[in-house]
Structure 1
Amino acid sequence: MQDNASAFGEEGFVLVGFSDRPRLELALFVVVLAFYLLTLLGNLAIILLWALEPRLRTPMYFFLANLSFLDVCFTSGSVPQLLHNLRGPDKTISVVGCAVQLYLVLALGGVECVLLAVMAYDRYAAVCRPLHYAVLMHPRLCAQLASAAWLSGFGNSLVMAPQTLLLPRCGRRRVDHFLCEMPALIAMACVDTAGLEALAFALAVLIILAPLALILTSYGHIARAVLRMRSAAGRRKAFGTCSSHLAVVSLFYGTVIYMYLQPADAYSQDQGKFLTLFYTIVTPSVNPLLYTLRNKDVKEAAKRVLGKAGAEVQ
Structure 2
Amino acid sequence: MTDPRPLKVTARVHAYPPAHNAGGEWMLHSMLRALVERGHEATVWLSRYGPIPHRYTLDGVQVIPFQARIDFAAHARDSDVLLSHLENVPMVAALAREYGVPMAAICHNTHLPTFRHAAGVDLAVYNSHWMRAEAEVFYGEFADHARPQDSAIVRPPVYADEYRTTPGECVTLVNLNADKGGDLFWRLAARMPQTKFLGVLGAYGDQIRPPHPLPNLEIIDHISGHDMREKVYSRSRVVLMPSSYESWGRVGVEALASGIPVIAHPTPGLTESLGHAGIFADRDDLDSWLSVLATVLEPDAYATASARALERSAELDPAGDLKTWAEAVEALARRRGEGDRDR
Q: Quick check: TM above 0.5?
A: no
More strand by share: 2
- Highest relative contact order (Cα 8 Å, sep 6+), 1 or 2? 1
Q: TM-score, normalised by structure 1?
A: 0.30
Q: TM-score, normalised by structure 2?
A: 0.29
More helix by share: 1
